[in-house]
Amino acid sequence: MIIAVGILSAVLGIVIGILVMRVKGAQRDAECKQSSAELETQVAVLQSQLNAETEKLHAARETAENQLAEVKAEAEKRIADEKDAAAKRLAAEKEEAEKRIAEERSRAEKRLADEKMAAEKRLETERQELERVHQNAFNEQKERFDDISKRLVAEAKTATEEMLKQRQKDIAESGHATMEQLVNPLKETIAKMEQTMKDSTLKQVETNTSLKDALSQAIDSNAKTKQTADDLIRAFKHDSKIQGDWGECVLEELLASLGLQEGTHFETQAPLRDQNGNLLVSEESGRSMRPDVIVHLDTKKDVIVDSKVSMAAFFEYNRAEDPEVRKDWLKKHIQSLEQHVKELSGKKYENYVKAPRETIDFVIMFVPRADALWRALAEKPSLWREAMEKGVYIADEQTLYAALRIIKLTWRQVQQAQNQQKVFELANEMLKRVGMFVKQMGDVGKALDNAQKAYQNGMSKFAEKGQSVLTTCRQLESLGAKQDKNNPLPTEIEVIEMQGNPAQN
């Protein structure tokens, strides 16, 4: 319709142009007038056609607008119906998803409870087995040392009993102080050995009785820690410094609940130093290396524990009610954990722990809230494996407790080994002193034997035979010498024969 109107307009313009050209010719006025009349007639006809077409156009436009309104109304109705249907489907899917989540959460909680119960049973079984092994080893050591002690005492008694009986009178008169000097160190050594045995027995009993106390303390500590964490959520939700301090407090409380001592079993915020005592500086940041906690596995090896994990995104995830918002916060929470893993991996603590100390090939990243870690692992199960490949082991309170428990048992074994070494040293010292005692008693016997020989040789010079002193005195008396009435010459010299040979005894 619009094209027809355009064509008519163009034709009208051409006609008018021709009219103008004809008017210019004076000689063709008549023709122009006639043409003009004809043109006017044509214009009138065209105008009439144009008006008719215009009316048709208006009618068609009105019809099109009516049809458009009907189509629009029908489309809006269809959209509204589809929107209602979509809302109903979304509500049904949401309800179904919530139901599945609840079921999955219930199953996960049951699995965790079962795993926890199984872990506790395994721990109890291992503890009992370890106690049995330690007790058997201790009993064997005690029996062996008792046998050694009895044998040494019996040998010493056998070696000295007869000698002491034979020389009792002489030693009582001339060597009482020397005998005490020899016997007292032996008594002290035996007393020390008995005391060491008693101390080792008491420590073993304390070890056995403290396991149950430690388990109950750990359970109470877990409950208190979780309650404290819930109470502090609102306070440090947006403060990373407070979050870091809280993680360190939870970690220190966990270490204390196990009976681990700072300075002996672990160090907190201790700067890493080289063999000369100089502070070690990170090659990347240029700052001193200060791990949160350095746990000593034994007398040589260490493990680094870091507790500065941000929980801000997880707190927001728990607060949010909209599923999409919760999904976004959960994603940010996982990204926060991955970023912290990357930071710990980049620090490379193992390159800064110098000899003679050694560190294992991974760092423990402690997450104070178990639900924060388990929710992230449920969303991304490969998180822990990817972290482990970077040298970072992610642990919650439960898994870290088990690891620290093993470390404590290791330290107990180290201490028992040190006690056994001390017992060995005391036994060696006792053997040395017994040997010295026997040697000195042999020297005493030799000295007594020499004294006996000298005594017999001296007394033989007074015997009335040959050129003895007594014979000479008798000769002088016969020549007129007189004896002292108070100290007359004996008529017979009695030589005391001492039994036995001390050097041979």
State the number of CA atoms in the 13 A half-sphere of 107 facing the CB: 7
pLDDT-derived band of residue 503, with 50, 70 and 90 as boundaries?
Answer: very low
pLDDT, residue 447, reads 82
pTM more than 0.85: no
| Residue listed under structure tokens 């795993």 | 115
Q: DSSP assignment, residue 367? A: -
Query: Closest by alpha carbon to 210, among 169, 159, 258?
Result: 258
Any idea which of 254-268, 288-302, 345-359 has the lowest mean pLDDT?
345-359
Q: β-pairing, 301-306 with 363-366? A: parallel
Q: CB pairs under 8 A, 24+ apart, for 233-236?
A: 233/315
pLDDT-derived band of residue 502, with 50, 70 and 90 as boundaries?
Answer: very low
d(CA 166, CA 181): 20
Q: DSSP assignment, residue 278? A: P
pLDDT, residue 421, reads 75
Tens digit of pLDDT for each residue in 437-486? 778 877 887 888 888 777 777 666 666 665 666 677 777 777 777 777 77
pLDDT above 60: residue 136? yes
d(CA 438, CA 164): 12
d(CA 370, CA 437): 65
d(CA 201, CA 213): 19
**Structure tokens belonging to residue 40:** 């006017």
pLDDT above 60: residue 23? no
d(CA 311, CA 367): 9
What is the average pLDDT score of the chain? Answer: 71
Residues 299, 414: contact at Cβ < 8 Å?
yes
Residues 368, 309: contact at Cβ < 8 Å?
yes
Q: DSSP assignment, residue 281? A: B
pLDDT above 70: residue 167? no
Percent of the chain with pLDDT over 90: 0
- Other C-beta atoms closer than 10 Å to the C-beta of 328 total 15
CA-angle at 189, arms to 139 and 429, nearest 5°: 85
pLDDT, residue 258, reads 78
| Residue listed under structure tokens 């082991």 | 393
pLDDT, residue 245, reads 67
d(CA 368, CA 237): 14
pLDDT above 80: residue 397? yes
d(CA 484, CA 330): 123
Residue 275 vs residue 427, higher pLDDT: 427
What totals of helices (H) and strands (E) does the chain contain, helices first? 11, 6
* Residues listed for the chain: 505
